[in-house]
Chains A and B, each alone.
Chain A
Amino acid sequence: AQSVTQLGSHVSVSEGALVLLRCNYSSSVPPYLFWYVQYPNQGLQLLLKYTTGATLVKGINGFEAEFKKSETSFHLTKPSAHMSDAAEYFCAVSQGGSQGNLIFGKGTKLSVKP
């Protein structure tokens, strides 16, 4: 069965610093992987996704993630944090198949200090 582990429920960085949010997954089949962002009192918005092909995936707002099969990881990065990046970030893996659902991690809250 698939599962997702997000290391660190809360990450704090200074404005302009590197953002690194960690996600590890387990999957018995080639995974489809997602990062979503949630701003306060809003729904989830897709940041980026990995399906097949290039392992470095670029998303919106300057974020990117790299799929590393050998490490079963899909960490999210951004070279320079902005105050507007403060939000909750969720990593998810697809159960696969048209009947499957998404399995979400518990989320990482990103704080950005001025």
Chain B
Amino acid sequence: EADIYQTPRYLVIGTGKKITLECSQTMGHDKMYWYQQDPGMELHLIHYSYGVNSTEKGDLSSESTVSRIRTEHFPLTLESARPSHTSQYLCASSVPGLAINEQFFGPGTRLTVL
């Protein structure tokens, strides 16, 4: 079944740790996105990718980095986690080459940095 997956779903970690949030999709989509969302708040686009070896920064500045080595995989990394990084992170993908840009979302990772 075509879907988009995120792991872990929940992560509690101490300050200074390096973390990687995983996102994978089996829909064959070229374009993928990362959003940051504080509880009950709007979505902020932090990274996106048009395809393999493409990464772009979004509207909200973020200390995280992303990579796109394989079409289906778009991990997000924080080199040194801080309490200000506590948030929900949502991954999405969209059908390539269409103007509509309809996006499909994963279940999210809720990150808490102590």
Contacts and interface: CB of A to CB of B under 8 A. Distances in A.
Interface string B85-114: 000101010001111111111111010000
A97 interface: yes
A107 B58 CA distance: 19
Nearest to B44: A104
B29 to A, nearest CB: 12
Interface size bracket, B side: 20 to 34
Contacts of B100: 32, 49, 51, 94
Contacts, number: 65
A41 B90 contact: no
Contacts of B108: 41-43
B2 interface: no
Residue in A32, A88, A98, A99 whose Cβ sees the most chain B Cβ within 10 Å: A98
The majority secondary structure among interface residues of chain B is: loop
A90 interface: yes
Query: In the complex, which of the residues B45, B90, B103, B104 has the most CB atoms of chain A within 10 Å of its own CB atom?
Result: B103
Contacts of A107: 40-43
A43 B105 contact: yes
Interface string A7-50: 00000000000000000000000001010100001111110010
Contacts of B92: 43-44
Sort chain A's interface into a size bin. Answer: 20 to 34
B3 to A, nearest CB: 11
A111 interface: no
A98 B43 contact: no
B83 to A, nearest CB: 20
A53 to B, nearest CB: 13
A51 B98 CA distance: 11
A102 interface: yes
A49 B102 contact: yes
A98 B96 contact: yes
A89 to B, nearest CB: 12
8 contacts: A36-B105, A41-B108, A44-B90, A46-B104, A90-B43, A94-B100, A101-B33, A104-B43
Interface of B: 6, 33, 40-43, 45, 48, 50, 58, 88, 90, 92, 96-108, 110
